Amino acid sequence: MTQTRFEEVFLGYAANTIPNRVIAKVLHSVMEEIDAPEWTKEEFKFAEEMQSHFEPEIIRRAAEQLEEIGAKLGQTKICDTILPYSDRIVVGSGSTDVGDVSWVVPTSQCTTTCSVLGIPGHSWAEASCSGMSIGHKGMLYAAKILGVAGYRFLTDASLRDKARAEWEHQLKGRKYESLIPSEVDVPPLPFE
């Protein structure tokens, strides 16, 4: 044969996310109650500059995807609308340890605008948006949503019970077990 050799290096693992609709509905209702960020002329100008570095087709497709799930965007460069609640579960294509958490406790997520419509995630342009007022406003909005929703769950046992009941129903008796073998020391990522 080829005399090929390899060394297995285990870098990590992420479980599928089990979203919880009870929590999602509370997050969405709080999102609608709290004033969303308002964008300035300077932020819209910045957004236009960021979008100019990417193909218009990418921006157009991103807008279409949001409009398919209820956004009313018009010509905006920054999403300034709250999408209607939907029981349709949309799980992103990236990996996240939130999936592992969702097997241990009821879990949900909310998404706020911290960047410009259509620019690729993890790009220099997204980092630029996240580090300026667009990102800061979106993160503060998310923090308020999570804080109010968390307070509601802390003070309303029936909400906690409903979220837990849905989570237990989704698990169907399955238990979380990390696929990282206990004898494996996961090495730090090689940033050499």
Which tokens sit at 21?
């609709």
118 inside domain: yes
Q: Is residue 72 part of a domain?
A: yes
Residues 6+ apart with CB under 8 A from 117: 47, 51, 59, 62, 63, 66, 73, 76, 77, 78, 79
Q: Tokens 């479980």, residue?
A: 15
Residue 187 domain flag: no
* Both tokens assigned to 100: 């592992």
Interval 43-59: pLDDT, tens = 999 999 999 999 989 88
Beta-carbon contacts of 44 under 8 Å, excluding residues fewer than 6 positions away, are: 76, 77, 78
Structural domain count of the chain: 1
Residue at 5 is within a domain? no
Q: Per the domain annotation, does 28 fall within a domain?
A: yes
| Structural domain harbouring 59 | 21-81+99-171
pLDDT in tens, 110-137: 989 999 988 888 899 999 999 999 999 9
**pLDDT for 147-192, tens place per residue?**
999 999 999 999 999 999 999 999 999 999 888 878 887 666 666 5
- Whether 153 is covered by a domain: the verdict is yes
Mean pLDDT, residues 63-69: 81
Coil, strand, or helix at residue 116?
Answer: coil
- At 22-33, the pLDDT tens digits run 999 999 999 999
The whole-model pTM stands at 0.84
Q: Per the domain annotation, does 192 fall within a domain?
A: no
Asked if the structure places residue 115 within a domain, the reply is yes
